[in-house]
């Protein structure tokens, strides 16, 4: 089983992580509570990610190339 976890309170770090873990993207919008927690559990080709943001996020991203 593969697992991954990420936590941050910095929007720039979060944007960088999401861009490397999923697809290049830019995060925009007002942020009062920048807390983010992301975890992944994977077995073989099936993965389940849980993303918990302390804010509402607007984003522009390329396609993932898989079912999301």
- Residue partners of 5: CB distance under 8 A and separation at least 6: 37, 38, 39, 40
Q: Count other C-beta atoms under 10 Å from residue 18's C-beta.
A: 21
CA 20-29-7 angle, 5° bins? 45
Predicted model pTM: 0.80
pLDDT of residue 5: 95
Q: Per residue of the chain (68 residues), what is the pLDDT tens digit? A: 789 999 999 999 999 999 998 888 888 777 889 999 999 999 988 989 999 999 887 777 777 777 76
């Amino acid at each position: 089983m593969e697992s991954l976890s990420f936590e941050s309170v910095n929007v720039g770090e979060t944007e960088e992580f999401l861009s490397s873990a999923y697809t290049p993207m830019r995060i925009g919008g007002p942020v009062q509570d920048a807390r983010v927690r992301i975890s992944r559990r994977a077995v073989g080709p099936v993965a389940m990610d849980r993303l918990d943001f302390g804010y509402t996020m607007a984003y522009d991203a390329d396609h993932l190339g898989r079912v999301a």
